[in-house]
Amino acid sequence: MLLPDRNTVERLLRHFRAQERSVLDRPGDLSARRRFEDTAYTLCVLMGERTAREAVLAAERYVASGGDQESRSIVIVPPLA
pLDDT at residue 71 in the model: 45
What are the residues whose beta carbons fall under 8 Å from the beta carbon of 47, sequence distance 6 or more? 4, 9, 54, 55, 58, 59, 62
Q: Is the pLDDT of residue 79 over 70?
A: no
Q: Count each helix (H run) and each strand (E run) in the chain, helices first.
A: 3, 0
pLDDT at residue 3 in the model: 84
pLDDT at residue 2 in the model: 79
Distance of CA 10 to the CA centre of its chain: 10
Higher pLDDT, 69 or 23: 23
Higher pLDDT, 52 or 69: 52
21-61 pLDDT, tens digit each: 999 999 999 999 999 999 999 999 999 999 999 999 999 99
Write the DSSP symbol of residue 12.
H
